[in-house]
Amino acid sequence: MIIIGTFSASKDKAFCSPHRTILTKPVTLGSIIGWKYGSILNPIEGSVHDLEIIFVRHGQGVHNTNIPDRLNTVNPHLTERGRQQVTALKSEFAFHEDDVFIVSPTIRTIETVNIMSSDLNSPHKYVSPLVGPRMFPMPSNPEAFASKCDLNYPLCEITKDHSDFIVLEEDNQQLWNLGVNTLKESEFIPLGWSLINWLKKLAAKRVFIVAHDGTITNYRILLGESGLTRSDFLGEAGWYKMNI
C-alpha cells in the first residue's frame, strides 16, 4: 500500500576528519559491500510484521533559496519558512512515543526531526549515512555534479551537539566520510536493503525516514516502484507513505 502526501548503534564513539572534500574521481567502496550483511543482498527477509515507512523530505533549507552559489552552502540550516513547513507536519501526523525516526546526517534533516519530535518525551531518533544525500537520476559522472550542501555533517559534531541521536554504522568511517551521494547503484542496493531489513526487525510499527528528494526516490525504487522521475520529488516537507 502506498500513499503520497546487524547495525552497530552507539552514542559513545566519534571520529572527525579535519578536511572534508568533494570527490574528484570515482571511489569503490568494496569494503562496505557485504561487510557483516550476509544474505541481506536479497530483498526483505525475516519479516515478522507489517511496517509503515513514511519518507519525509526536509523543510526549506538556506541552500533552497535564491542566494549566490546556493548549492555549495556548507551545512545549510532550515530557513524560518522551512521550520514552519515542518511544524505543519504535526497536524498531519499524530507523532507518538513508539515512532522511530531515521535521519540523514545533515543539519537541515536533524533540525527537521527535532521539530517533528519536539512534543515527545523520549523520541527514538537515529542518524545514518545510509539515508544521506543521494543523487537522482545518477549521472554518468556524478563526481562532477557533487555539491558542498550534500556533504555529511561530521560524526564528531553530531555526537557532540546532538547526543540525543543514536548513531548507526558509527564504526564505518569510509561510509561516513564518503556517504552514498555518488555511490554506484550496485553498491547502494545492498546497503539500502541492509537498512530496510534492520527496520523490519525492530518492534516499531511506524518509521519516519527524514532525508532528501534524491535519497527518497532511490529508496522508493529499491522497494519496487518504477518509472520515477524528478517530477516525483516530494518537495519541501513533503511526505510519502509505504507499507512493507
In this prediction, residues 132-137 reach a mean pLDDT of: 99
Which phi and psi angles does 108 have, rounded to 5°? -65, -35
Q: Which residue has the higher pLDDT, 3 or 127?
A: 127
**What is d(CA 84, CA 200) in angstroms, rounded to the nearest whole number?**
32
The CATH number of the domain holding residue 147 is 3.40.50.1240
Are the beta carbons of 198 and 51 closer than 8 angstroms?
no
Q: 88: how many CB neighbours lie within 10 A of its CB?
A: 12
Residue 31 within a domain: yes
Does position 64 have pLDDT exceeding 80, yes or no?
yes
Could you list the residue range(s) of the whole structural domain that residue 38 is in? 2-11+27-64+74-243
Cell of 126: 537515529
pLDDT score of 6: 37
Residue 20 within a domain: no
Q: Which residue has the higher pLDDT, 120 or 49?
A: 120
Cell of 34: 557485504
Residue 85 within a domain: yes
Cell of 22: 568533494
**What is d(CA 244, CA 207) in angstroms, rounded to the nearest whole number?**
11
Residue 22 within a domain: no
Residue 116 within a domain: yes
Cell of 186: 550496485
Buried b / exposed e over 189-219, threshold 16 CB at 10 Å, is bbbbbbbbbbbbeeebebbbbbbbbbbbbbb
In this prediction, residues 24-42 reach a mean pLDDT of: 36
State the pairing for strand pair 206-211/166-168: unpaired
Enumerate helices (H) and strands (E) in the chain, giving the number of each. 6, 8
Amino acid making up residue 110:
I
**What is d(CA 244, CA 223) in angstroms, rounded to the nearest whole number?**
8
Ramachandran sector of residue 49 (left: φ over 0; alpha: ψ -120 to 50; beta: rest) = beta
Residue 18 within a domain: no
In this prediction, residues 152-179 reach a mean pLDDT of: 96
Interval 79-109: pLDDT, tens: 999 999 999 999 999 999 999 999 999 999 9
> What is the number of domains present in the chain?
1
pLDDT band at 49 (very low <50, low <70, confident <90, very high): confident
Residue 21 within a domain: no
Residue 153 within a domain: yes
At residue 166, the 3 state secondary structure works out as strand
pLDDT band at 125 (very low <50, low <70, confident <90, very high): very high
Does position 228 have pLDDT exceeding 80, yes or no?
yes
Tell which residue, 160, 156, 181, has the closest CA to residue 18: 156
Neighbouring C-alpha atoms within 13 Å toward the C-beta of 208: 29
Beta strands in the chain (DSSP E): 2-4, 9-10, 52-57, 100-103, 124-127, 166-168, 206-211, 239-243
